[in-house]
Structure 1
Amino acid sequence: MSVTGRERAEATTGRYAFEQFFAVRRHQPGALAFSPDGRHVYVSTDISGQFNLWRIPVEGGWPDQLTLFEDRTVRMAAAHPQSDRIVFLADRDGNEFWQLFELDVRGGWPRQLTSREDVRYEMGAGAFSPDGRRIAYAGNQRTPTEVDVFVRELPDGEPRLVLSTGEYLVPVAWAPDGRRLTVVAFHANTDQDVYVLDLTDGSHRNVTPHEGEAVHFPERWLPDGSGFLVVSNRDREFSGLAIVRPDRPGVLEWIYTPEWDVENVELAPDGQVALVSVNEGGISRLRLVEVPSGRVVTEPPVPEGVLASVRFSPDGSHAALLLATPRRAAELYTLRLADGRVTRITSSMLGGIPEEALAAPELVTFPTFDGRQIPAWLYRPRGASPGAPAPVALSIHGGPEAQERPAYHPLYQYLLHRGIGILAPNIRGSTGYGISYQRLIHRDWGGGELRDIEAAARYLQSLPWVDRRRLAIFGGSFGGFATLSAVTRLPQYWAAAVDIVGPSNLVTFVRSVPPTWQRFMKRWVGDPDEDREMLLERSPITYVDQVRAPLLVIQGQNDPRVVKAESDQMVERLRALGRPVDYVVFEDEGHGFTRRANLQRAYRLTADFLERHLLPGR
């Protein structure tokens, strides 16, 4: 193996190499499950270089690889309640046409249950019926724009269409009697209903009727079948935890209503308590909450960070937690309920960098045009001072209805190590700060949030340790759109920019999204016909001639959300104008990077590009 000049220099000076920061294992939060005997945890991780299913002893130990995919990504998994079988979803090369598989984890090969590679199938963590004979899942196989619910007898039964309403439906959990299913109907990101489907006669009932918009997401049923838990923000700014009883439609029996969002909920098998994580300003706070009183029994001593997923073992003795901190990538922990002992059972950090050498962010706020204070995570590189000002890269998260949180980010840590600061704001439209703040992005892409980005640039310029002439901006998905908006409409601030799978033209973007998304686009972004002028006025492509900063564009060939044509048209226009633009297409990826090698290459390109323009001469 050859050693590059940079690696030799880094070894001599005591610097850490790029690869060390990226020597981490990643996990898929939806593929976390316990074996029926509670002795093992199933997880999808990229130990092999691609996301495959693995089995890990609950007290820690050597993991067993259960699938050997090279071109597929395991996204979601559900364990059989009595046997060593598991069903899971996987797609090919990031195309998001998730297919359903079954696997006997004692040995054997995954058996593909669906084979419509033009259809996206979905399921919940409770896909198996209580007796383990049936699975419930959803798919748009009947018509591309609608998602229906199916039930299938295992091992060889034919799928049976059990609910079709012309909406986007996904089954979530079986009732203990095995006769009923909760089904969530997605009307918008901020508006859902829950139907209870009776499989004996095919009838269904909306048990969360409401006026206006409200989030309703069902969790597990109570053991007696009288109702189920639901996370909702109806008539509230933040999401709380309630019980819904099918015989009292529209009534929420509130259990726990903190002044932050309830984000993860897992009901114990006996129904007496629930593990509830609350997103307090971006940090997950885990509590054991009594049901139905809402009394906080205890706060388990988990590391302070971001909790992505939580599952109870079948006997309720343990919980599995997938959690990341600013200085450690997501790890799998087990919590023993009897004594509160927390054990880390994975080792995701493989680069040999001590945690004290990594940076933790500072939570800051800065004012924006309408008087709001924008929250942000500020990472300051060591040595930056008024006498030695540092460049800073502004990182815009995707979504846009998502949140920048203090979890390990290898690119941030590498750039900080090289002397480049990071400001990662939660501009309007971000989740975690109340539903009113989240809704500000609806039908306002390229509007108020762009002014928040300008406020972020001005805030950075006000810091005495920041070099105001060396600011960059980067982001993926919506963050890519925001990056393109910033370099085209606020060109005076940037020395460089990196767009990863970002829309450039809102009219063509809205027309090209997956069929199941089309029903949401008018409420979310705009109608390509009725709102054409507004969408063009907000599109980066309209202002391409104003670009001054060199730009790197990264795109996945198979991206179904932001199709390659979005990047193509921006790059073609820039090249026609003679503007500096680098363009890299990943032929075997979609909306993001599932292969570890591709992730490293994409971020290596990003890091090299930013260093070249922010650290000239190094």
Structure 2
Amino acid sequence: MDRRPRYRFEQFSATRQILGMHPAPDGESLRFVSDISGQHNLWQVPSRGGWPRQLTLFTEEVVREALFTGDGSRIAFVADHRGDEKYQVYLMEAVGGWPEKITDRPEVQYELGCFSPCGRYLAFSGNAANPEDMDIYIYDLETRETRQLTSGGGVRYVFSFSPDGSRLLAQQFYDNTKQDLLLVDVASGEIRNLTAGKEQKAFFRPGPWLKDGSGFYFLTNDGREFQGIGYYDLAADRWSYAVTDDWDIELIALNGDQTLMAYTVNEAGNSVLRVVERESGRALPLPELSKGMVLRARFAENDRRNRLFLQITTYKEASNIYVLDLEAGTLTRVTESMLGNIPEEVFVAPELVYIDAHDGLRIPAWLYRPHGAGPDAKVPAVLSIHGGPEAQERPNYNYGFFFQYLLHHGVAILAPNIRGSTGFGLDYQKRIHRDWGGDDLKDIEACNRYLRSLDWVDGERIGVWGGSYGGFATLSALSRLPDLWACGCDLCGPANLITFLKSVPAHWRPAMKDWLGDVDEDRDFLIARSPITYVDQIKAPLMIVQGAMDPRVIKAESDQMVERLRALGREVEYLVFEDEGHGFTKRANLLKAFAAMADFLIRHLVRR
């Protein structure tokens, strides 16, 4: 008899999400977005630790991202309504302030940019002029006037002002693997494309400026499989790689006097932090970090103590904020996200495995083996497919608490990075382009076969679960590989690629042809790859969860799948959240949804 203590769903789910982190300019406090109040709001905590203070009091609006003026006196942030992703821009005083909305176009999506060095101007992007374009706007905090700086020309996101405030560093976005770097004159709006004319477009993401304005750092994979750090010399009008690695470099930060550079390397999903002297490249000794993911790494602009502020998550810890004191060599946790009083040894660490695909490709995957599983105690398993699809499964406290709760109930997890995932090179990532439901489905089949090969897994009790693209993959697996699954669970996944393409946000549409296909030119192909085409082949019980306000995968995608299954007399459970979008912004809804999905999987895999 298994006499190990049993812990409740409420304990695994007793976490507090921390979604973003910015140190105040002096480094003495940190602002972050969290659902501590039950809704995503803006909070502040001293960098030495302590109880956080709530800065916004929204109950229906959802705070997403925030930034601060150079003197720390004002905060700008974006928030949307019930997850509809129509972000509006707000301003407030950092101390005692109340949010003031400076954009009020409920049909428009704005994206936060940056404050000017003097603190008078705020730059941001939005599709107010044309739904398919993201233009750059400048708001004057003194006159309260907004000026459209650029007009037309596609999707542009603004990142930073030059140190003298005369230019903006921006990104021209074409798709997930193709961008350009732009310099925009603040006075005239004149645009200079710094990376135009390349036969093969590459990934470019702006990074920090040097204080003298002579150049800036950025991330790119131009001419390489993996992202490195480039430096653009404006006087010479050319750039070169400053740091490269055999894996993707993901984050860049410079300390206040710009003598140090911090960056992270994504080694098969695990973040490796490095801090080097910027000019010599000499590495500083660092305390060891637990395996997991560094979500943010920032220095405070005016902090003289060389403290690096980190946001970290691991398989046993939801996202928390840490302070790394580089002079003292200490790492101190500032926040506490784990509230369930569960001993650390209860959590299951993942193992990195590789699975052979049909064409010789090796699929990286994280395998979680429940405590006590063995040949004499075979367990069921869930194949979890991440969203994106250009994203990456990593060794985090995944989906809030979902993995570890299922593991505690004796359900193994296999979380692969099938082709199309990021982090394993450009070629691997682009293999999903215009091939949804093609070789990726064969990868899923290979993962199922791998699970069946393990002598401690019951091959007749394998379920499949995923959200967004992972939901599409789940529906594809259940409908086109119907004999492999005991059940499936789809969270807001597209069912019909034609109706999906017609309904995505307008500024996504220019990129969708190369990414997925064209509604008219590729109609037959899209029908052949849509799960709804094969709905009559679904045998396994299915649960579908959907937000009614989802702007990315609209509710009609799930509606049509549920209607067809019910007409066929198949077993399908449908859970709709009227006040949610693509995911969950209210803590009560998140708990209800994941409790229902966990119960569904346990019911069909453990208790059947």
Give the shorter-chain TM-score range: over 0.9
**Any idea what SS the aligned residue of 1:208 has?**
coil
Counting only pairs closer than 5 Å after superposition, residues 196-345 of structure 1 correspond to structure 2 as 196-209=183-196, 210-249=198-237, 251-316=238-303, 317-345=306-334
Contact map agreement 1:395 1:422 (CA 8 A) in 2: yes
Superposed displacement of residue 337, structure 1:
2.5
Question: What is the aligned partner in structure 2 of residue 178 from structure 1?
Answer: 165
Letter in 2 for 1:586: F
Q: d(CA) in 1 for partners of 2:324 and 2:161?
A: 26
Question: What is the aligned partner in structure 2 of residue 65 from structure 1?
Answer: 54
Superposed displacement of residue 290, structure 1:
2.8
Contact map agreement 1:397 1:478 (CA 8 A) in 2: yes
Contact map agreement 1:76 1:88 (CA 8 A) in 2: yes
Q: d(CA) in 1 for partners of 2:9 and 2:158?
A: 43
Superposed displacement of residue 199, structure 1:
1.6
Counting only pairs closer than 5 Å after superposition, residues 20-419 of structure 1 correspond to structure 2 as 20-29=11-20, 32-124=21-113, 127-209=114-196, 210-249=198-237, 251-316=238-303, 317-409=306-398, 410-419=401-410
**Any idea what SS the aligned residue of 2:483 has?**
helix
**Any idea what SS the aligned residue of 2:134 has?**
strand
Q: d(CA) in 1 for partners of 2:561 and 2:293?
A: 35
Question: What is the aligned partner in structure 2 of residue 584 from structure 1?
Answer: 575
Deviates more, 1:263-272 or 1:417-426: 263-272
Counting only pairs closer than 5 Å after superposition, residues 544-555 of structure 1 correspond to structure 2 as 544-555=535-546
Superposed displacement of residue 300, structure 1:
4.8
Contact map agreement 2:316 2:344 (CA 8 A) in 1: yes
**Any idea what SS the aligned residue of 2:127 has?**
strand
- In structure 2, the gaps of 5 or more residues are none
Superposed displacement of residue 295, structure 1:
3.9
Contact map agreement 2:286 2:329 (CA 8 A) in 1: no
Q: d(CA) in 2 for partners of 1:515 and 1:118?
A: 11
**Any idea what SS the aligned residue of 1:182 has?**
strand
Contact map agreement 1:88 1:102 (CA 8 A) in 2: yes
Letter in 1 for 2:497: L
Letter in 1 for 2:583: G
Superposed displacement of residue 161, structure 1:
0.9
Superposed displacement of residue 72, structure 1:
1.4
**Any idea what SS the aligned residue of 2:580 has?**
coil
**Any idea what SS the aligned residue of 1:387 has?**
coil
Q: d(CA) in 2 for partners of 1:286 and 1:182?
A: 26
Identity of aligned residues (%): 51
Q: Check 1:83–1:155 CA distance in 2 against 1; reply closer, same or farther (3 A cut).
A: farther
**Any idea what SS the aligned residue of 2:149 has?**
strand
Superposed displacement of residue 342, structure 1:
1.1
Superposed displacement of residue 294, structure 1:
3.9
Superposed displacement of residue 437, structure 1:
0.0
Superposed displacement of residue 297, structure 1:
3.4
Superposed displacement of residue 212, structure 1:
1.1
Q: d(CA) in 2 for partners of 1:244 and 1:123?
A: 24
Q: How many residues align?
A: 602
Letter in 2 for 1:214: A
Q: Check 1:211–1:608 CA distance in 2 against 1; reply closer, same or farther (3 A cut).
A: same
Superposed displacement of residue 359, structure 1:
0.6
Superposed displacement of residue 289, structure 1:
2.5
Letter in 2 for 1:122: E
Superposed displacement of residue 155, structure 1:
4.2
Question: What is the aligned partner in structure 1 of residue 586 from structure 2?
Answer: 595
Letter in 1 for 2:405: Y
- Is 1:492 the equivalent of 2:483? yes
Superposed displacement of residue 252, structure 1:
2.5
Deviates more, 1:519-528 or 1:158-167: 158-167
Deviates more, 1:295-304 or 1:162-171: 295-304
Q: d(CA) in 1 for partners of 2:544 and 2:410?
A: 23
Deviates more, 1:270-279 or 1:581-590: 270-279
Aligned counterpart for 1:445 among listed residues 436, 449, 469 = 436
**Any idea what SS the aligned residue of 2:284 has?**
strand
Contact map agreement 1:35 1:84 (CA 8 A) in 2: no
Superposed displacement of residue 276, structure 1:
0.2
The normalised TM-score by structure 1 is: 0.95
Question: What is the aligned partner in structure 1 of residue 518 from structure 2?
Answer: 527
**Any idea what SS the aligned residue of 1:413 has?**
helix
Question: What is the aligned partner in structure 2 of residue 562 from structure 1?
Answer: 553
Superposed displacement of residue 138, structure 1:
0.5
**Any idea what SS the aligned residue of 1:142 has?**
coil
- Is 1:461 the equivalent of 2:444? no
Letter in 1 for 2:225: E
Contact map agreement 2:250 2:263 (CA 8 A) in 1: yes
Letter in 1 for 2:230: A
Deviates more, 1:210-219 or 1:177-186: 210-219
Superposed displacement of residue 432, structure 1:
0.4
Superposed displacement of residue 284, structure 1:
0.4
Deviates more, 1:399-408 or 1:205-214: 205-214
Superposed displacement of residue 386, structure 1:
1.3
Aligned counterpart for 1:611 among listed residues 598, 602, 605 = 602
Superposed displacement of residue 283, structure 1:
0.4
- For 1:283-310, what per-residue CA distance to the aligned partner results, in whole angstroms no more than 9, with x for missing partners? 0011113324444334453333101111
Q: d(CA) in 1 for partners of 2:279 and 2:531?
A: 50
Contact map agreement 1:207 1:248 (CA 8 A) in 2: no
CA RMSD of aligned residues (A): 1.4
Q: d(CA) in 1 for partners of 2:193 and 2:286?
A: 35
Q: d(CA) in 2 for partners of 1:594 and 1:112?
A: 20
The normalised TM-score by structure 2 is: 0.97
Letter in 1 for 2:127: N
- For 1:540-580, what per-residue CA distance to the aligned partner results, in whole angstroms no more than 9, with x for missing partners? 00000100000000000000000001001111111111111
Superposed displacement of residue 336, structure 1:
1.6
Superposed displacement of residue 244, structure 1:
1.1
Contact map agreement 2:130 2:152 (CA 8 A) in 1: no
Deviates more, 1:339-348 or 1:195-204: 195-204
Q: d(CA) in 2 for partners of 1:457 and 1:550?
A: 17
Q: d(CA) in 2 for partners of 1:83 and 1:479?
A: 40
Superposed displacement of residue 23, structure 1:
0.3
Superposed displacement of residue 164, structure 1:
2.2
- Is 1:481 the equivalent of 2:468? no
Q: d(CA) in 2 for partners of 1:156 and 1:69?
A: 27
Superposed displacement of residue 13, structure 1:
7.3
Superposed displacement of residue 274, structure 1:
1.4
Q: d(CA) in 1 for partners of 2:35 and 2:186?
A: 38
Contact map agreement 2:78 2:88 (CA 8 A) in 1: yes
Q: d(CA) in 1 for partners of 2:299 and 2:510?
A: 35
Q: d(CA) in 1 for partners of 2:286 and 2:593?
A: 39
Contact map agreement 1:287 1:300 (CA 8 A) in 2: no
Question: What is the aligned partner in structure 1 of residue 413 from structure 2?
Answer: 422
